[in-house]
Amino acid sequence: MKIIVTGGAGFIGSNFIFYMFKEHKNYQIVCIDKLTYAGNLSTLKPLSNNVNFKFIRADITDRNLIYQIFESEKPDVIVNFAAESHVDRSIENPSIFLNSNIIGTSVLMDACRKFGGIRFHQVSTDEVYGDLPLNQPDLLFTEDTPIHANSPYSCSKASADLLVMAYHRTYSLPTTISRCSNNYGPYQFPEKLIPLMIVNALQDKMLPVYGQGVNVRDWLYVEDHCKAIDLIIHKGKIGEIYNIGGHNEMKNIDIVKLICFYLKKPESLIEYVTDRKGHDLRYAINPEKIYSTLGWFPETTFSDGIQRTIQWYLDNGKWWKEILSGDYRKITEI
Ligand code: NAD
Ligand code: DAU
């Protein structure tokens, strides 16, 4: 089996590549990544001597290059992680999100059509469903919840999902889509809530909490997400959408306080700052479908996962300090 993993120098994509080599030692994986600010090639360094792994720097919107890569690599499966992924950046500058997240997805699917016989998996997000109220805890997102995206980021992901469904219906492209809740774990870029708070706390810097910190996210350890995608590309039904989430809803402020507790840092570092524009209140996934049809369930409790994540950032200061200094961007090959 040969898999092209796009966006594999980012957070979830790199964890997915490591997971797949652990589970399927003989698979071949080609990672395509543009190496935007969010891509960090030092993450993939442990694979530099693996003959079953190849890294190609490419932009998924570059049609000619993507076609060339598909022609020479002849993949069986594409797993598309490549995307601009940070909501705050999408609020500042939507256009790059539209280009990478929508046009990029269509170029990859066109390549699948051109070369034929290639299964396409789109890594999407629960944010396509919009948000849920804070005062109705029984309401959860199912796969039938209407799309109601609110930020430029989530609109770009929702648009890509619609295109994936259209390519399946119109061209019979063998597609699947997964919509996952918030991930956390090793190698997450320190602009997202959990790694930002850990890295700031370790430097005794302020911890900026948007609004009152009451917004709720449904947190999943990244390896559990990887396991779900592995199941979907092997056993998922073509044309289907699968929600992935761990029934682990938490308020932002509680997470930040927990990080202070584990790092033995004072809560006085917490600073309430101006809220995110259009800030989604609550996300919560109903994962019943993937549980009942594919037998997936999250294995890592939040208590274990957050302690492992904090320990990882403590043990891997070099990784995040190279990001803070900008040195990571000098690494362009492994
Ligand atoms: P990330 O920002 O850490 O990584 C994205 C990677 O994609 C980077 O390596 C970047 O260089 C690459 N990339 C961006 N634009 C590209 C382009 N045009 N061509 C090639 N490569 C490009 O993101 P992440 O958090 O790992 O998220 C991965 C995917 O999972 C995204 O599609 C995101 O929407 C989705 N997702 C993320 C979460 C989460 O909590 N982080 C949850 C659900 C779904
Ligand atoms: O739900 C899945 C989504 O989760 C993914 O599709 C996105 O790619 C991913 O970035 C994430 O989106 P969020 O906006 O939920 O994640 P973020 O880490 O940016 O923020 C989590 C919550 O914490 C959110 O309510 C905003 C808040 N926040 C975030 C930052 C960066 C703060 O209060 N302070 C901060 O500094």
The per-residue pLDDT for 271 is 98
Residues, the chain: 334
75 close to 31: Cβ distance less than 8 angstroms: no
3 close to 78: Cβ distance less than 8 angstroms: yes
Distance 217 CA to ligand 2 centre (A): 8
The per-residue pLDDT for 99 is 98
Ligand number, closest to the Cα atom of 97: 1
The per-residue pLDDT for 92 is 98
Tell me the residue range of the domain where 51 lies. 2-330
Q: What mean pLDDT is reported for the chain? A: 98
Distance 324 CA to ligand 2 centre (A): 19
The per-residue pLDDT for 334 is 85
163 close to 218: Cβ distance less than 8 angstroms: no
pLDDT average, residue stretch 171-183: 98
Mutation test residue for ligand 2: of 81, 134, 217, the one with most atoms within 8 Å of CB = 217
Structure confidence by residue, pLDDT tens digits, 244-284: 998 999 999 999 999 999 999 999 999 999 999 999 999 99
Residue 75 pLDDT grade (very low, low, confident, very high; cuts 50, 70, 90): very high
Residue 86 pLDDT grade (very low, low, confident, very high; cuts 50, 70, 90): very high
By percentage, how much of the chain surpasses pLDDT 70? 100
Mutation test residue for ligand 1: of 15, 19, 32, 36, the one with most atoms within 8 Å of CB = 36
157 close to 125: Cβ distance less than 8 angstroms: yes
Distance 117 CA to ligand 1 centre (A): 25
Structure confidence by residue, pLDDT tens digits, 117-171: 999 999 999 999 999 999 999 999 999 999 999 999 999 999 999 999 999 999 9
The per-residue pLDDT for 150 is 98
Its pTM stands at 0.99
Check which CATH number belongs to the domain holding 200 and give it.
3.40.50.720
The number of distinct structural domains making up the chain is: 1
Query: What's the Rg (C-alpha) of the chain?
Result: 19
Nearest to 101 by CA among 54, 162, 143, 146: 162
Structure confidence by residue, pLDDT tens digits, 41-65: 999 999 999 999 999 999 999 999 9
179 close to 160: Cβ distance less than 8 angstroms: no
pLDDT average, residue stretch 218-246: 98
Segments in 60-212 forming alpha helices (H): 63-73, 87-92, 95-97, 104-115, 152-171, 193-202
Nearest to 117 by CA among 154, 171, 194, 55: 171
Residue 240 pLDDT grade (very low, low, confident, very high; cuts 50, 70, 90): very high
Question: CB neighbours (10 Å) of residue 30?
Answer: 22
pLDDT average, residue stretch 279-308: 98
Residues marked active site are found at 126-127, 153
Indicate if the pLDDT at residue 333 is higher than 90: no
Q: How far is CA 306 from CA 94, 186, 189, 327, in A?
A: 31, 10, 15, 27
